[in-house]
Amino acid sequence: MASGVADQPQGNAPPAPPQTVTPLYGERAIAEAQLICFPNPREGRPYEVSIELPEFTCTCPFSGYPDFAVLRLLYQPGPRVLELKALKLYVNSYRHRSISHEEAANRILDDLVAACDPLWMQLEADFNPRGNVHTVVRVSHGERRPC
């Protein structure tokens, strides 16, 4: 390669792999994410659903640094139950969003309540320490019933 140009394939070399399509399929799925619910199979019976989302990320609106958190959702379904893949995609849509810890927790809770109308819901956003500060934001909606 004296000229600095890569050698061209000779003879029966396999064709070059196709170029990556952008945005990537995961990015497209996240961009199109909508919270989806299905009918509660046991409406009228109080029970709890616990979901942990350990890879939440967003961006600090002041520094631009990434923030990482574990989201812990606990809720008692009303007429609808959250579909998990849709929830995952929705949560991943925060990855590049510039938002405070407090606003992220409150906005996510508001969106989840609007989607599924739970009897009771609590969201805990447990952010990784940054600069020697550990933040946990806990928000709730409705009244918890005994199971």
Which residues belong to the active site?
Answer: 60, 67
Amino acid (1-letter code) at residue 51 = I
* CA dist., res. 25 & res. 20, Å (int): 10
Please, which residues bridge with residue 39 across strands?
A: 80
Element (H, E) at 30: helix 25-31
The answer to whether the CB of 119 falls within 8 A of the CB of 74 is no
Angle at the Cα of 29 from the Cα atoms of 124 and 20, rounded to 5 degrees: 130
The end-to-end CA distance of the chain, in Å, is 73
Q: State both tokens at 102.
A: 């407090």
